[in-house]
A and B are shown apart, each in its own frame.
Chain A
Amino acid sequence: MTGRLSPFLAAMMTLGFLFLYGPIASVIVYSFNASRLVTVWAGFSTRWYGALLANEQIKNAALTSFEIALMAATGALILGTLAGFALARYRRFAGRTLFAALVTGPLVMPEVITGLSLLLLFVALEQAIGWPHGRGVPTIVIAHITLGMAYVSVVVEARLASFDRSLEEAALDLGAKPGKVFAAITLPLIAPALVAGWLLAFTLSLDDLVIASFTTGPAATTLPMVIFSSVRLGVSPQINALATILLVVVAVAIVIAGRAVARTRSSAAR
């Protein structure tokens, strides 16, 4: 149903996109503002970026967040791929309904509940078996794997549902071992979903405030926690600069991933 857009529709779309991007644009523009007052324009300046780079607290928190996101996204990729695979390929097995509910549960569960319940589990486990000893990076990683694998499995399952299984069957008929079929056929075909799923889990982990606040201990402060405590005190030009850097990093990552996905697609089609 392509065709010309009516003026009404075009206006609604313009407004919709303005609504989506206006706030983000204002943050970027005012990160280059010379004034400390965030809403009064006083000329172009990069002073807040300098101040940001000198801020040890933010740098440490960024490193912690990055480390957590790398581990969480990788764990979520492995477990989420297995879960998506199981849901797409095994139409019946004992406990499948429960499994499907558990996999997609974290997507709709309010974060405060996920965070509180995981914290109480960690406390109970520590009492019972002495692990995890205290809370910090490892417990946040476990929490973020649980959240991220839900997103990975949805993406992988959708990809598996849409691809032609006769390719796998042909390879098998031609004498390839199951391991070889996976490496030569299945893996390249679901590679775009794996890239997208990993990135999704990575950005979710990097961004999470609520679940990390519940599951952390005194040892680990993540970037969103620093941003949140600063934002609660009001708008600050340093946070605008930090937000701009984060936006650029995410945009670059998406473009690179998009290119990688396009390349795998064209090579898989060949």
Chain B
Amino acid sequence: MSARPYTGRWRRLAVVMPPYAWLALFFLVPFAIVLKISLADQAMSIPPYTPLIAGGHLLASTANYRFLASDSLYARAFGNSIWFAAWATCGCLLIGYPLAYGIVRAPLRWRNALLLLVILPFWTSFLIRVYAWIGLLQDNGLINRLLLDIGLVHAPLPLLNNSFAVYVGLIYSYLPYMVLPLYAALEKLDPVLLEAAADLGCRPSQAFRRVTLPLSLPGIVAGALLVFIPMCGEFIIPDLLGGPNTLMIGHVLWDEFFTNRDWPVASAVAVAMLVLLVLPMGLLRRYLTGERA
């Protein structure tokens, strides 16, 4: 075996240590602090929470968690988030799969351009893409004006500030994240398999169901796992497009922090999201995709 560069002990340490130390300080330690403050009480001070240890006594309490469990608002917001994210993930899949499939089937010289067209919106501002839907969906927005002008409806349809708008916003914003893993999985599929299926008497729809779909399953799983958690924690979309019945858990956390200025309850919401949502999904991802995500 010939010599390989970058393998000296100190060199390795110099490569690994800076990002490791940075992430430990700014991504790992903060969760310990969130956990700590979720056990404190709100206080009229700076910072606005009580110390955990005062006069040699441990003052930790689970009051914030008991509060979250007793007020149905939190359970409802949590359930809403999972409900919205699950259906929006299905929506992304329904629109994203034909898109990815079409790009793979398109002539070679178009393929890169089409793929770029899918990725491009991902580079443009998330906030502005959500904002664009307000102009389309509001009562005097483009869609309602069009429907009124051609006489399809006689009063504007309620399209904004409800769950419909939240679904549209979620699917629209996360669609590129879904298409890319689907494309990667479909591109790897060997066309010989489809030819073999056809030779053996499979109709195209049968070949799709029995060959293409099962073989693209890893892409479906990867895409769904990629979009589901960020959708659950979404704040901007329910805030700008949603209404009174679309409260989601990320929005609750935001309100506790910015409106109620209750840092301990906001922290408890964050810990609950981590334990009930992020960790299970992380474990599921590991289980489904092997060691590497």
Residues in B whose Cβ lies below 8 Å from that of A106: 27
Residues in A whose Cβ lies below 8 Å from that of B25: 121
Residues in A whose Cβ lies below 8 Å from that of B2: 169, 172-173
Judge whether B244 is part of the interface by a CB distance below 8 angstroms. no
Residues in B whose Cβ lies below 8 Å from that of A108: 225-226, 229-230, 278, 281-282
Judge whether B120 is part of the interface by a CB distance below 8 angstroms. yes
Chain B residues 179 to 202 lying within 8 A of chain A, measured CB to CB, are: 189, 191, 194
Binary interface profile of A, 234-267, with partner B (CB < 8 Å = 1, else 0)?
A: 1100011001001100110010000000000000
Asked whether, in the complex, the Cβ of A39 is within 8 Å of the Cβ of B141, the reply is yes
Complex Cα spacing A232 to B250, Å: 17
Judge whether B43 is part of the interface by a CB distance below 8 angstroms. no
Asked whether, in the complex, the Cβ of A85 is within 8 Å of the Cβ of B131, the reply is no
Asked whether, in the complex, the Cβ of A254 is within 8 Å of the Cβ of B235, the reply is no
Cβ-neighbour of B273 out of A24, A110, A207, A246 (below 8 A): A110
Binary interface profile of A, 168-200, with partner B (CB < 8 Å = 1, else 0)?
A: 110111000010011000000000000000011
Judge whether B153 is part of the interface by a CB distance below 8 angstroms. no
Asked whether, in the complex, the Cβ of A207 is within 8 Å of the Cβ of B102, the reply is no
Given A16-B98, A27-B128 in contact, is the A146-B23 Cβ separation under 8 Å? yes
Judge whether B86 is part of the interface by a CB distance below 8 angstroms. no
Asked whether, in the complex, the Cβ of A203 is within 8 Å of the Cβ of B123, the reply is yes
Q: For the side of the interface on A, what is the size category?
A: 35 or more
Cβ-neighbour of B104 out of A1, A103, A169, A209 (below 8 A): A1
Asked whether, in the complex, the Cβ of A169 is within 8 Å of the Cβ of B16, the reply is no
Judge whether B59 is part of the interface by a CB distance below 8 angstroms. no
Asked whether, in the complex, the Cβ of B267 is within 8 Å of the Cβ of A116, the reply is yes
Chain B residues 5 to 30 lying within 8 A of chain A, measured CB to CB, are: 5-6, 8, 11-12, 15-16, 18-20, 22-30
Binary interface profile of B, 16-60, with partner A (CB < 8 Å = 1, else 0)?
A: 101110111111111101100100000000010000000000000
Judge whether A20 is part of the interface by a CB distance below 8 angstroms. yes
Residues in B whose Cβ lies below 8 Å from that of A89: 6
Asked whether, in the complex, the Cβ of B232 is within 8 Å of the Cβ of A110, the reply is yes
Asked whether, in the complex, the Cβ of A121 is within 8 Å of the Cβ of B135, the reply is no
Binary interface profile of B, 122-158, with partner A (CB < 8 Å = 1, else 0)?
A: 0111111101111110101110010000000000000
Distance of A242 from chain B, by nearest CB (Å):
8
Cβ-neighbour of B30 out of A9, A17, A26, A117 (below 8 A): A117
Judge whether B263 is part of the interface by a CB distance below 8 angstroms. yes
Complex Cα spacing A178 to B293, Å: 30
Judge whether B221 is part of the interface by a CB distance below 8 angstroms. no
Chain A residues 57 to 113 lying within 8 A of chain B, measured CB to CB, are: 78-80, 82-83, 85-86, 89-90, 93, 95, 97, 99-106, 108-113
Asked whether, in the complex, the Cβ of A24 is within 8 Å of the Cβ of B129, the reply is yes
Cβ-neighbour of A20 out of B118, B123, B258 (below 8 A): B118
Judge whether B280 is part of the interface by a CB distance below 8 angstroms. no
Asked whether, in the complex, the Cβ of B16 is within 8 Å of the Cβ of A90, the reply is yes
Distance of A127 from chain B, by nearest CB (Å):
7
- Closest-by-CB residue of B relative to A101 is B282
Residues in A whose Cβ lies below 8 Å from that of B232: 110
Judge whether B257 is part of the interface by a CB distance below 8 angstroms. yes
- Closest-by-CB residue of B relative to A180 is B5
Asked whether, in the complex, the Cβ of B29 is within 8 Å of the Cβ of A121, the reply is yes
Asked whether, in the complex, the Cβ of A93 is within 8 Å of the Cβ of B12, the reply is yes
Known pairs A143-B26, A250-B123 / 10 extra A-B pairs, C-beta < 8 Å: A20-B175, A21-B117, A23-B132, A27-B135, A99-B20, A104-B293, A112-B250, A117-B31, A227-B131, A240-B135
Which residues does B use to contact A, with CB under 8 Å?
2-6, 8, 11-12, 15-16, 18-20, 22-31, 33-34, 37, 47, 95-96, 98-99, 101-108, 114, 117-118, 120-121, 123-129, 131-136, 138, 140-142, 145, 172, 175-176, 189, 191, 194, 225-226, 229-230, 232-236, 239-240, 250, 253-254, 257-258, 263, 266-267, 270, 273-274, 278, 281-282, 291-293
List 7 A-B pairs, minimum CB-CB distance, nearest first.
A110-B233, A117-B30, A23-B132, A12-B98, A83-B19, A1-B191, A13-B102
Which residues does A use to contact B, with CB under 8 Å?
1-3, 5, 9-10, 12-13, 15-17, 19-24, 26-27, 30, 37-40, 78-80, 82-83, 85-86, 89-90, 93, 95, 97, 99-106, 108-114, 116-118, 120-121, 123-124, 127, 142-143, 145-146, 149, 153, 165, 168-169, 171-173, 178, 181-182, 199-200, 203, 206-207, 209-210, 213-214, 224, 227-228, 231-232, 234-235, 239-240, 243, 246-247, 250-251, 254
